[in-house]
Structure 1
Amino acid sequence: MNRTTLSLIAAGTALAAVTAFAAFDGPSASGASAPEAAANLPVQRTSLLCPAPSISDIADTSYTSFTPVTPGTPSSGKAQLQAAGGDSADGTGTSQTSQGAKGSKGGKKTAAQPVLTPKAPGTPVTGDASGADAPALIGTADGKFAPGWTVQETTEVAAGTGRGLQGVNCTAADTDFWFPGASTAGTRTDYVHLTNPDDSAAVVDIELYGKDGAIKSPLGENLTVPAHASKPILLSTLTGVQQADLTVHVSVRSGRVGATVQALDDKAGGDWLAASADPAGSLVLPGIPKDATDVRLIALTPGGDDADLKVRLASPDGLITPAGNETLHVKSGMTTTADLGEVTRGEAGSLVLTPTDQSVPVVAALQVVRGKGDKQETAFIPATAPVGTRATSADNSAKGTTLALTAPTAAATVKVTASAGSDGGTPTTKTYTIKSGTTEEVAVPVPSGLKGTFALTVETVSGGPVYASRTLSATESGIPGFTIQTLPNDRGMVAVPTTTEDLSVLQK
């Protein structure tokens, strides 16, 4: 079962009360009528999981929470982020707490103070942590805070392994994740962070796929993640094989988890690697920066068939084929790479992968490098789902934010709204038209009178599917620190079928 299916199931469960009410709404006096179309209604509950931000003692982390204003939501609700905690090995119980919160005493858990407690939709709320002891977070939102709730975790590390800017969108729990772009090379320190939001333990398998296929790793089987706890797994402890490019598959035997890979390099910085979109025959990887000095494509087909892909770059002028990388042959179960170099050549672009003939499901990601020599910094762009009705991005600044929009198959009109600032400012909106087959790096709207950070919501107004990503940049000591997050649909709305009373079922 894929992530999209599980998300819909969760949303449908949250709206059970609405559906149940509709089921007992009797037919009108005029008699039976034709079935009505499903209604799109706001979700009523959302859960998000944020991994522990850093292993560095000099890390500074900011959290930004935002819920867009959504018509039709209840007038009440709440949202909060709290430190993950779990049972200790001796069964006495422990609790990871945020800064300023007291830990457990006498073998009993104590409630940690929320790291963030949003006050109202439409306005971001921020919080901070520092050092290597900042815990993973488990967040819940209901009522008016649930539709489109987004939390961004951004960390600055001044020096050492993974130095630079690292960012990740806190994710929903699921049962299956693919991460092309991980590594066990000697210069890399990669962790898989697993966070369990539920009341019972989850059992997880971690599989590794290298250039020659699956890598035997018994240590990655039957891993237990305690209830309400988070566990970082160092990839190099699962295998003695050193490979520059790996695909990591996280599958859950029981329960569910949030999963993200933290990829850190000794010299080239690092970032969070989010899961690729579900395996598909065609993929879009949006928002390669115009000044990228090296771009590397990592792909894997998890099924039993090989895949042959056409590789194209959606540039500001249209779809072009990178010289020397017109196609990519991906052998079944083997991680395949392609060095694209300075593929954007001074203009932002997005990679579009389509089958040359037979469509075979593939997962993929890009490893993107900016800078040269000892001033390199790395980020990742996984294949992603389209914006759809709406996507949301938190933690944006007036000068350090870049938004890339891609319309790979047909022209599209997109509305982008900048929220109020976390400390003040008035929302503003701009509309853009993206030509078919192009990527546009748009001038991000900024709230008037901005104070603090702001959120962006991207809405597809008309036309074909739109894919998007947001880049944050912060150059320090000559090093171009940056992090990229894709903007898939924020899952704020769910289709709920209209039902009517049918007493005939009682006679069957």
Structure 2
Amino acid sequence: MKRTTLSLFATAAALAAVTGVAVVGGPSHAGGSAPRGTAARMPVQHTSALCPAPTSSEVGETTYTAYAPGGGRGETRPAELVPAADGKKDDAKKPGGKPVLSLRAPGRPATATTGRSDAPALVGSADGALAPGWTVQQTTTIAAGSGRGLQGLTCTAPDTSFWFPGVATAKGRQDYVHLTNPDATTAAVVDLELYGEDGRVAAPTGEGVTVPPRSTVPVLLATLPETSDGTDGDLTLHVAARSGRVGAAVQSNDEKAGGDWLPASDAGTGAVLPGIPADATSVRLVAFAPGSDDADLSLRLAGPSGSIRPAGHETLHVKSGMTASADLGALTKGEPGSLLLTSDGGVPFTAGLRVTRGKGDKQETAFVPAVRPVATRGTVADARARGTTLSLAAPEKDAQVKVVASAGSEGGTPASKTYTVKGGTTLAVEPPKPEGGKGVWAVSVEKVSGGPVHASRMLALPKDGLPAFTIQPLPDDRSLVDVPTVRQDLSAVTR
């Protein structure tokens, strides 16, 4: 099934780096090569984000929030959401329709809402002053049916590889991977690889999936395996683009336990999964080792006062090319926390958590991926007056961060507060609110000093006894890039 997309022109945002421009001049009088210059830190000039179709539910409502912290250079043009071509060859270059969202300046979010069950995917970009840190959040409330509750996602940048530990093809679960191609003229070709506890799952229909230009393709993961008994509850999905780039996200809907978007996880020799709620009734860890060696993982839970080794779950053995899982139960025992994973021997792995709140027919789920640290700044676009919790995890040394609340989408002035996070702990706080703030706002975490900090934001909107919630990571926004100094050298022309 193919969905049309909308185009989001946000004063522009592809996470493309600024490139240096060489200056051609005369040869060096010294007769040798000029010394290599040092790189300068410069704001990005272009970045992009792709938002999948939010829901097919007839009782769902979605809020889109776009925000740019600012701090860049260049012209500021309005950011717009407009209908794009439907992916057909003859229509690929046709312009879109009437804009539905416009972001005109940094510092204040712009919002739009829709109750359409056929709301399309979005393609967005930001240039100039709006590019550094530009982000888009989609938050969907679903009143009933499979996946009911709160579903949220920070729209992703296009890339060629994504890892999703924690997907499933089990009965009662409907997991769709949404593949969105931002290119207006060229199709992308993608392989969908599934890995279970016994290794690679035979799924020939997942090979060579074509995503037409400027379009999105949702794929139900349960249709991929050649054979399935409906019990595969812990799988890892790898999205690998053979050609082109795509945005990828997994929407997981459960008949009994609600649902949410499952964002991609970072891979490395260590992982921090921040923001396990204090009242989590179930936490399930899923990990995968993509390399040629097995990974032996050491587990620690970083709580408000320090780190502990979870009793009975101190380690997890992950075989090469296979998925391993562990039911950690009510891991946090009434206190917020973050899971810290390290690989003995430096073997790479990727991991994610499925978190459940509530009991019986009042359960709701969300997912926590492995998150890279905030090196300079990380931002989430949707914060509200009630139900917003920011989790800050410092896995090693003490760290100090500045948390900034933007102006509200309907007014108010920014506010900020500085926090110190002790090494080996998780600090869960209600972030500051903009003074006189109305509507929704953005929250940014800025690194001040100390060791690495990993962050996430939980948004909880309970209704009728259902603890509806969603968790989004705040990785570093990579708004600054190294631009090398280019030396004068015409020798390449004569070679």
TM-score (norm 1): 0.90
Q: Name the CA shift for 1:10/1:161 in 2 (closer, same or farther; >3 Å).
A: closer
Q: Helix, strand or coil: the match of 1:227?
A: coil
Aligned to 1:457: 444
**Paired residues of 2:84 and 2:94 also in contact (CA < 8 A):** no
Q: Contact 1:82 / 1:138 at 8 angstroms: preserved in 2?
A: no
SS of residue in 2 equivalent to 1:451? coil
Match for 1:369 among 350, 353, 356? Answer: 356
1:421 aligns with 2:408: yes
Alpha-carbon spacing, 1:478–1:29, altered in 2? closer, same or farther (3 Å)? farther
Residue number in structure 2 paired with 1:101: none
Root-mean-square deviation (CA), in Å? 2.1
Equivalent position of 1:69 in the other structure: 70
Q: Which of 106, 113, 117 pairs up with 2:98? A: 113
Partner of 1:164: 149
Q: Does the Cα contact within 8 Å between 1:78 and 1:141 map onto a contact in 2?
A: no
Q: Give the equivalent residue in structure 1 for 2:49.
A: 48
Structure 1 pair 26/365, CA: closer, same or farther in 2 (3 Å)? farther
1:220 aligns with 206
Deviations 1:130-167 (A, max 9, x none): 13110000001111111111000000000000000000
User: How big is the shift at 1:409?
Assistant: 1.0
Aligned to 1:330: 318
Verify: 1:86 aligned to 2:86, yes or no.
yes
Shift of 1:181: 0.7
CA distance in 1, matches of 2:491, 2:295: 50
The amino acid across from 2:67 in the alignment is F
CA distance in 2, matches of 1:292, 1:368: 7
2:186 corresponds to: 200
Aligned counterparts of 2:310 and 2:116: Cα–Cα separation in 1: 42
The one-letter amino acid paired with 1:390 is R
Write out aligned runs for 1:26-425 (5 A): 35-70=36-71, 72-88=72-88, 93=91, 109=94, 111-198=96-183, 199-239=185-225, 240-241=227-228, 242=230, 243-277=232-266, 279-355=267-343, 357-425=344-412
What displacement does 1:87 show? 3.1
Instruction: Report the equivalent of 2:4.
Output: none
Judge conservation of contact 1:78–1:144 (CA < 8 Å) in 2. no
Q: What is the one-letter code of the residue matched to 2:362? A: K
Return the alpha-carbon distance in structure 2 between the equivalents of residues 488 and 68 of structure 1: 15
2:454 aligns with 467
Shift of 1:86: 3.0
| Corresponding residue for residue 5 of structure 1 | none
Shift of 1:47: 1.2
Instruction: State the alpha-carbon separation in 2 of the partners of residues 338 and 461 from structure 1.
Output: 36
Identity %: 57
User: For structure 1, which runs of at least 5 residues remain unmatched after alignment?
Assistant: 1-8, 95-107
Are the equivalent residues in 2 in contact too, given 1:83–1:136 (CA < 8 A)? no
Q: Given that residues 34 and 487 in structure 2 are in contact (C-alpha distance below 8 angstroms), is that contact kept between their aligned partners in structure 1?
A: no
CA contact (8 A) 1:78 1:145 kept: no
Q: Distance in 2 between matches of 1:123 and 1:383?
A: 29
State how far apart, in whole Å, the 2-side matches of 1:296 and 1:132 are: 31
**Paired residue for 2:424?**
437
What amino acid sits opposite 2:443 in the alignment? L
C-alpha distance in 2 between matches for 1:83 and 1:190: 26
Displacement of 1:23 after TM fit?
3.0
Rounded to whole Å, the distance in 2 between the matches of 1:133 and 1:197 is: 19
Paired residue for 1:499?
Answer: 486
1:2-51 superposed Cα distances (whole Å, 9 cap, x missing partner)? xxxxxxx9633xx33xx21x534889999998654311111111111000
Q: 1:502 to 1:78 in 2, by over 3 A?
A: farther
Deviations along 1:243-296, one digit per CA (max 9) or x if unpaired, are: 01111111111111000000000010000000011x211111011011101000
The 1-side partners of 2:174 and 2:62 are apart by 19
Tell whether the 8 Å contact from 2:76 to 2:105 is kept in structure 1 after alignment.
no
Cα distance change of structure 1 residues 36 and 337 upon mapping to structure 2, 3 Å threshold: same
For 1:157 and 1:27, how far apart are their aligned partners in 2?
66
The question of whether the paired residues in 2 share the 8 Å contact of 1:25 and 1:500 is answered with no
TM-score (norm 2): 0.92
Q: In 2, distance between residues paired with 1:276 and 1:115?
A: 31
Query: What is residue 11 of structure 1 aligned with on the other side?
Result: 16
Task: Tell me the distance in 2 between the aligned counterparts of 1:369 and 1:188.
Answer: 15
Q: Secondary structure of 1:117's match?
A: strand
Q: CA deviation at 1:501?
A: 2.0
Give deviations 1:195-251, integer Å, cap 9, x for gaps: 000120001110111121111011111110000000100111112412011111111
2:293 match: secondary structure: coil
| Deviation (angstroms), 1:301 | 0.3
AA partner of residue 11 (structure 1): A
Residue 110 of structure 1, CA deviation: 5.4
How many residue pairs match? The answer is 477
Shift in Å, 1:117: 1.1
Structure 2 CA distance for aligned equivalents of residues 211 and 121 of structure 1: 46
Instruction: Give the aligned partner of residue 468 of structure 2.
Output: 481
How far apart, CA to CA, are the structure 2 residues paired with 1:184 and 1:503? 58
